[in-house]
Amino acid sequence: MVTTHNLGFPRIGAKRELKFGLERYWKGESSRDELTALGAELRARHWASQRALDFAPVGDFAFYDHVLDMSFTLGNLPERVQGFHGDKLDNAFRVARGRSAAGEQDHAGCCGGVAAGEMTKWFDTNYHYIVPEFTAQTQFNLDFSRLSAQLKEAQAQGVKAKPVIVGPLTYLWLGKAKDDSDKLALLPRLMAVYRALLSHFNAVGVEWVQIDEPILVTELEPAWREAFVRAYEGFEERSVKLLLATYFGELKENLDLACGLPVDGLHIDAINAREEVALAAQTLPPTSVLSVGAINGRNIWKTDLNATLDWLAPLARELGERLWIAPSCSLLHVPVDLAGEIKLDAEIRSWLAFALQKLDEVQVLATALNAGRDAVAAELAANAAAIGARRRSPRVNNPVVQAALARIDAKLGHRQHAYAERAAKQAALLNLPAYPTTTIGSFPQTGEIRQARSQYKRGALDHAGYQAAMRAEIERSVREQEKLGLDVLVHGEAERNDMVEYFGEQLDGYAFSEFGWVQSYGSRCVKPPILFGDISRPKAMTVEWIGYAQSLTNKPMKGMLTGPVTILNWSFVRDDQPRSVSCYQLALAIRDEVLDLEKAGVRVIQIDEAALREGLPLRRAQWGEYLRWAVESFRITANGVSDDTQIHTHMCYSEFNDIIASIADMDADVITIETSRSDMELLDAFDHFKYPNEIGPGVYDIHSPNIPTQEHIVQLMQKAAERIPAQRLWVNPDCGLKTRQWAEVIPALTNMVAAAKTLRSQAR
Ligand code: GLN
Ligand code: ZN
């Protein structure tokens, strides 16, 4: 008999109940008891949905973040909150977001206003965790209270509980040594607490513990590989069984290491590391369990169950009781339930599986393996029909798009001439001053914009009324920019709800769910659009809006588009062809838009690639391959224009030192990037790499309500001019201004324009 289990369940709730509960609590609109009760209710509901499994995860629920919870379990709180009053949950919120509930005024003087913890991406997902903090002095101290309470709850509900913890090496690896000390030096101290934790699990009757070590799918330094051996040998005298969980990739050179650790089972992500499953089956000791992640825990497509059974069945015969099956990773990365999607096109819906449907798939696989395929003949037939229909659907396959893709050649991604020649032609045409000023695209999303959009959605405003409201907003932002004296204007993006959804909605090959929310961090969720088919552009998407904006002014109006790589990286992407193919299809569609804008007289076009870096594979060895097709996609999109059309791109993440050569290779005439927060530190990259084209290092941190002063902006630009020749510098904010208010934006941009004038006069 195979054993079924799950690595983790989404905590946010099918209707984002946790999000709303948290936000009510933080605003002081609900009590602590209400929030705690909501947590218990969600856990109970989620366990009930996992009843059919042999083991359900416990401890995967978190009010804010599971890595933060682990820090509390290990007693590793950042120094700045150690003296805090209040209870643990409030302190957790303080670590995560700088403050807890608004109603908690009594601690405002002592516990309020602390710096929020650093947040970063959980491997290559869009989930963000709170980075653990260490120093050489860090001491650990077991706090079993959260896990003990949740185990009790689970036991009371008859859940076959398998607690889930972050393993010691992954925990250290995810954290940051604030004093640059060697994190591995903390391992002996940390292991003492992990050993105590396992004894506590044993004492409360736990049989299996899932210990997550996803860093085993990355390239580990020898010291870290050795530390694995040392650490897990330290677990030898334990009385609970350990399932070592890896996911998100292949183990490669770490496979032998993982198979040799003294644990009782190993979980492998068979979506990303199918080939390693058989290898692991041979390498693991004969007493070890092999858990196979056979269902994709990160995407929303139905699994081809028959094909999966074809390769699972021999493995089941070989391993017998030792085979476990599960989703490939925690289901945290997919929405909860497809059942609520009544508005979604029925055909597309029949191709999808969210968390609950994925658990059903695990069940069908297990039944087929345990009792024969006949026992689930109806389920398998229905699955085969859906898989076949999707494969054959004319909505997925568009021969015109496929033919266009086949015609892509090297020429498509090349401008007519090199940058220097283009720059001269652009200067003659645009006639811009030194240190030209511009913004990144969006202007404040005002109450009026939101109201018009929701009225339009509800049908309270007709199409013409909505268009008129958006035009009024565009006119307002053009007038403001003229008053401010900016050099290259933007239309302000009033008509866009979201920079990816806006384009997805106008492209063929995209679908949208209503409740397909996935947690991004804390209470923040995203609803990625679903890229299901060959991508094409039925008609121009932005030309009318940009053309209207240009008609209002004599200054150059910058056309604003989202690039193919960013659209891809912020979507759920079809799994029946390489991501690169979908990216090239997006590139061709957006290229047509670029050319249409140019034809309409738009001479400056910005193509945002905010998410380019997010697509980098976990293993550095694979970066080159990704960057090759990502950069080529951008080039295809951008580079069909004539020399005197100026292409801008924009990126807004911090570390780009390590991919700067690829960014230069995109060959945009101008790149605007986020830099103001780090005081231009980011420009260190330019000490070693001579960026050949123009660059606008952000001088206004748009994440903050603070207004940058003219002097500060001048200083920042002077720092930039030490690295980049002044004639290739632009002056602009870090990112779009849509989250700010006009009352903040106007003084900030006034200072920015004044700073540019100072710089010009100094240059003379
Ligand atoms: N053009 C977009 C804006 O200004 C860019 C947003 C982003 O980089 N995330 O809003
Ligand atoms: Zn940005």
Query: Which residue is closest in CA terms to ligand 1's atom 4?
Result: 736
**Residue 634: per-residue pLDDT:** 98
CA angle (265, 266, 272) in 5-degree steps: 160
Give the active site residues.
Answer: 703
17 labelled binding-site residue: yes
pLDDT of 252 strictly over 90: yes
**Residue 108: per-residue pLDDT:** 59
**Residue 441: per-residue pLDDT:** 98
493 labelled binding-site residue: yes
Select from 498, 526, 650, 653 the residue to mutate for testing ligand 1; criterion: most ligand atoms less than 8 Å from CB.
Answer: 650
518 lines ligand 1 (CB under 6 A): no
What is the SS3 assignment for 496?
A: coil
Q: What is the pLDDT of residues 58-100, one digit of tens each?
A: 999 999 999 999 999 999 988 877 777 778 888 899 888 887 8
The stretch 455-480 carries a mean pLDDT of 97
Per 3-state DSSP, what percentage of the chain is helix, strand, and coil (rounded to 5)? Answer: 50, 15, 35
Bridge partners of 559, per DSSP, are: 605
652 lines ligand 1 (CB under 6 A): yes
Q: How confident is the model at residue 111 (pLDDT cuts 50, 70, 90)?
A: low
Q: What is the C-alpha separation between 609 and 601, in angstroms, rounded?
A: 23
Q: How far is the CA of 525 from the centre of ligand 2 (A)?
A: 18
Q: How far is the CA of 10 from the centre of ligand 1 (A)?
A: 28
**Residue 109: per-residue pLDDT:** 63
Q: What is the C-alpha separation between 469 and 453, in angstroms, rounded?
A: 9
**Residue 680: per-residue pLDDT:** 78
Cβ distance 510 to 541 under 8 Å? no
440 lines ligand 1 (CB under 6 A): yes
Q: What is the pLDDT of residues 287-322, one digit of tens each?
A: 999 999 999 999 999 999 999 999 999 999 999 999
Q: Quick one: which atom of ligand 1 is closest to the CA of 441?
A: 4
**Residue 113: per-residue pLDDT:** 66
Query: Which residue is closest in CA terms to ligand 1's atom 9?
Result: 610
Q: Which residues in 68-96 are b (16+ Cβ under 10 Å) and which e?
A: bbbbbbbebbbeebeebebeebbbbbbbb
Look up residue 569 and give its amino acid: N
Q: How far is the CA of 442 from the centre of ligand 1 (A)?
A: 6
Query: Which residue is closest in CA terms to ligand 1's atom 10?
Result: 736
What is the SS3 assignment for 558?
A: strand
19 labelled binding-site residue: yes
Q: Quick one: which atom of ligand 1 is closest to the CA of 736?
A: 4
**Residue 686: per-residue pLDDT:** 82
pLDDT of 104 strictly over 60: no
Q: How far is the CA of 119 from the centre of ligand 1 (A)?
A: 20
Q: What is the pLDDT of residues 711-756, one digit of tens each?
A: 999 999 999 999 999 999 999 999 999 999 999 999 999 999 999 9
Q: Quick one: which atom of ligand 1 is closest to the CA of 442?
A: 4
**Residue 388: per-residue pLDDT:** 98
Q: Quick one: which atom of ligand 1 is closest to the CA of 439?
A: 4
Q: How far is the CA of 745 from the centre of ligand 1 (A)?
A: 15
Q: Could you tell me how far CA 390 lies from the centroid of its own chain?
A: 27
558 lines ligand 1 (CB under 6 A): no
Q: What is the C-alpha separation between 42 and 37, in angstroms, rounded?
A: 9
Q: What is the mean pLDDT of the chain?
A: 95
pLDDT of 653 strictly over 80: no
441 lines ligand 1 (CB under 6 A): yes
Select from 486, 491, 493, 604 the residue to mutate for testing ligand 1; criterion: most ligand atoms less than 8 Å from CB.
Answer: 493
Q: How much of the chain exceeds pLDDT 70, in percent?
A: 98
Q: Quick one: which atom of ligand 1 is closest to the CA of 440?
A: 4
Q: How far is the CA of 696 from the centre of ligand 1 (A)?
A: 14
Q: What is the C-alpha separation between 21 and 477, in angstroms, rounded?
A: 36
Q: Which residue has the tokens 């009790």?
A: 152
**Three-state secondary structure along 269-333?**
ECCCCHHHHHHHHHHCCCCCEEEEEEECCCCCECCCHHHHHHHHHHHHHHHHHHEEEEECCCHHH
Select from 735, 738, 749 the residue to mutate for testing ligand 1; criterion: most ligand atoms less than 8 Å from CB.
Answer: 735
CB atoms within 10 A of CB 525: 17
Q: How confident is the model at residue 105 (pLDDT cuts 50, 70, 90)?
A: low
Pairing of strands 208-212, 128-130: unpaired
H helix runs in 330-432, sequence order: 346-349, 355-371, 377-392, 399-406, 419-430
Ranking 489-503, 681-695, 740-754 by mean pLDDT, the lowest is: 681-695
233 labelled binding-site residue: no
**Residue 83: per-residue pLDDT:** 75
Query: Angle, nearest 10°, between helix axes 32-49 and 88-97?
Result: 90
Q: How confident is the model at residue 697 (pLDDT cuts 50, 70, 90)?
A: very high
608 lines ligand 1 (CB under 6 A): yes
Q: Which residue has the tokens 């960057």?
A: 627
259 labelled binding-site residue: no
Q: What is the C-alpha separation between 437 and 485, in angstroms, rounded?
A: 9
pLDDT of 106 strictly over 60: no
- Environment class of 286 (CB within 10 Å of its CB; exposed 0-12, middle 13-18, buried 19+): exposed
Q: How far is the CA of 673 from the centre of ligand 2 (A)?
A: 7
29 phi and psi angles, rounded to 5 deg:
-95, -10
Q: What is the pLDDT of residues 396-450, one digit of tens each?
A: 999 999 999 999 998 999 999 999 999 999 999 999 999 999 999 999 999 999 9
674 labelled binding-site residue: yes
The stretch 443-460 carries a mean pLDDT of 95
Ligand nearest to the CA of 738: 1
Q: What is the C-alpha separation between 81 and 114, in angstroms, rounded?
A: 8
Q: Quick one: which atom of ligand 1 is closest to the CA of 652?
A: 8
- Environment class of 149 (CB within 10 Å of its CB; exposed 0-12, middle 13-18, buried 19+): exposed
Helices (H) and strands (E) in the chain, counts: 27, 22
The stretch 617-633 carries a mean pLDDT of 97
What is the SS3 assignment for 246?
A: coil
Distances (CA, A) of 629 to 83, 632, 633, 636: 51, 5, 6, 10
614 labelled binding-site residue: yes
The stretch 139-157 carries a mean pLDDT of 97
Q: How confident is the model at residue 383 (pLDDT cuts 50, 70, 90)?
A: very high
Give the residue, 504 or 107, on which the prediction is more confident. Answer: 504
Q: What is the C-alpha separation between 170 and 700, in angstroms, rounded?
A: 36
Q: How confident is the model at residue 551 (pLDDT cuts 50, 70, 90)?
A: very high
613 lines ligand 1 (CB under 6 A): no
Q: How far is the CA of 524 from the centre of ligand 2 (A)?
A: 18
Q: What is the pLDDT of residues 506-543, one digit of tens each?
A: 999 999 999 999 999 999 999 999 999 999 999 999 99
Segment (H or E) for 649? strand 646-651
The two tokens of residue 110 are 């002592």
Q: What is the C-alpha separation between 132 and 68, in angstroms, rounded?
A: 7
**Residue 219: per-residue pLDDT:** 98
